[in-house]
Amino acid sequence: MKANEAPENIYLTKNLLGELRDGWDALPSEGFTNIEYTCTDTFIEKAIEWLQYNILFFNDDDVEDFREYMKGE
Q: What is the pLDDT of residues 26-66, one digit of tens each?
A: 899 898 889 999 988 889 999 999 998 888 888 888 888 99
Asked whether the whole model's pTM tops 0.95, one would answer: no
Same domain, 49 and 65: yes
- What residues does 20 pair with on adjacent strands? 14
Beta carbons of 20 and 14 less than 8 angstroms apart: yes
Same domain, 25 and 46: no
* Per-residue model confidence (pLDDT) at position 18: 87
Same domain, 50 and 60: yes
Question: Between residues 2 and 64, which one has the greater pLDDT?
Answer: 64
Identity of residue 38: T
Same domain, 28 and 18: yes
* Per-residue model confidence (pLDDT) at position 69: 92
Same domain, 31 and 47: no
* Per-residue model confidence (pLDDT) at position 35: 93
Could you tell me the residue range of the domain that residue 66 belongs to?
A: 40-70
Same domain, 25 and 44: no
Specify the number of domains making up the chain: 2
